Structure 1
Amino acid sequence: MDKTIQLDNLDRRILRTLQSDASLNGTALAEAVSSSPASCWRRVRALEEAGILGATVRLIDRRAVNRDVDVICSLRLKSHGEQDAEAFERFVADQENILECYTLSGEWDYLLRIVAADIRDYEQFLMHTLLRHPSVANASSQFALSRVKYTTRVPV
């Protein structure tokens, strides 16, 4: 982050609105947050410069692109050495089907969210890619039966 800013009510309205619809043009965004276009544009730029607003992306329905299986995978490394962790994290960054990766405290070292076309697709990835990584000791997979809540919206 280049600089930090104090968020006021207008900043918070802008952030909430953009999290709901990032495709709004400057005029529509300004109208939605009850601001002038020039003021709104300056605020958006300041939020970007402060690192609060990141890249604009479009969300994809995973089922529409044949990624119907959602897997939560807990994973343990063979060692806690810095080189092993760095090698594993580089590996994770290169895997398209790993959507999220968290380091954990407790029994497991990492928690991964992985999408796959079906169970066989996940089995192939697990057995022939993930578990074959030299840093990985073992893993435990849980399959999501349904998604009760999913959001990328951060409360502001």
Structure 2
Amino acid sequence: MENSIQLDDLNRRILRALQRDASLTATELANVVASSPASCWRRVRSLEDGGVLQGAVRLVNRQALNQDIDVMCSLRLKSHSEADAKVFEQFVADQDNILECYTVSGEWDYLLRIVAADIRGYEHFLMRTLLRHPAVASANSQFALSRVKYTTAVPV
């Protein structure tokens, strides 16, 4: 997909500012990036229309909601049929505790990032939900001990 948006210095400043705080008003954004509110508004619209900027969200502190366990789960499917992958990916989309899912190269088929309140909560999900899915052959879980870096910001 070819990107038709020109990322000049002002566009880059706008993207960096909005990745730090998407709630900025046009006036606040203009002050942060040293531009006029009208110019910022036009550029933000252009970045949205070009698909560079997508929906604005607020980040939630998972520990504040008692989701203390962060698990990286490598998973292998029983078969590599398109039908099994489609059914499994729909299952993943329906699971609120699976925050991220990637197809990966190597010995595993998927890498999932899963949150849970505690070890028992994760064990319950793993043993009674994930491993019982008809497309799943096996899984390997790794528990995050601490978070060294976390960002949603893309370098621009």
TM-score range, shorter chain: over 0.9
TM-score with structure 1 setting the length: 0.97
Shift, 1:4, TM fit: 2.4
1:16-62: CA deviation from partner (whole Å, max 9, x where unpaired): 00001111101000111011110100000000111111111000110
Q: Residue 63 of structure 2 corresponds to which residue in structure 1?
A: 63
Structure 2: segments with no counterpart, 5+ residues: none
Confirm or deny: 8 A CA contact 1:2 1:50 kept in the other structure: no
Q: Residue 128 of structure 1 corresponds to which residue in structure 2?
A: 128
Confirm or deny: 8 A CA contact 1:76 1:109 kept in the other structure: yes
| Structure-2 change in CA distance of 1:2 and 1:104 (3 Å) | closer
1:89-111: CA deviation from partner (whole Å, max 9, x where unpaired): 00000100000000001100000
Q: Residue 138 of structure 2 corresponds to which residue in structure 1?
A: 138
Shift, 1:6, TM fit: 1.6
1:73-126: CA deviation from partner (whole Å, max 9, x where unpaired): 000000000000011100000100000000001100000000000000000000
Give the AA of the match of 2:36: S
Cα distance in 2, alignment partners of residues 110 and 83 from structure 1: 15
Shift, 1:2, TM fit: 10
Aligned length: 156
Counting only pairs closer than 5 Å after superposition, residues 76-155 of structure 1 correspond to structure 2 as: 76-155=76-155
TM-score with structure 2 setting the length: 0.97
Q: Residue 39 of structure 2 corresponds to which residue in structure 1?
A: 39
Give the AA of the match of 1:91: F
Q: Residue 12 of structure 1 corresponds to which residue in structure 2?
A: 12
**Equivalent position SS for 1:89:** helix
Cα distance in 2, alignment partners of residues 51 and 6 from structure 1: 12
Confirm or deny: 8 A CA contact 1:2 1:51 kept in the other structure: no
Shift, 1:5, TM fit: 1.0
Structure 1: segments with no counterpart, 5+ residues: none
Q: Residue 73 of structure 1 corresponds to which residue in structure 2?
A: 73
Once superposed, what is the RMSD of the aligned Cα atoms? 1.2
Confirm or deny: 8 A CA contact 1:103 1:109 kept in the other structure: yes
Cα distance in 1, alignment partners of residues 37 and 77 from structure 2: 51
Cα distance in 2, alignment partners of residues 38 and 3 from structure 1: 23
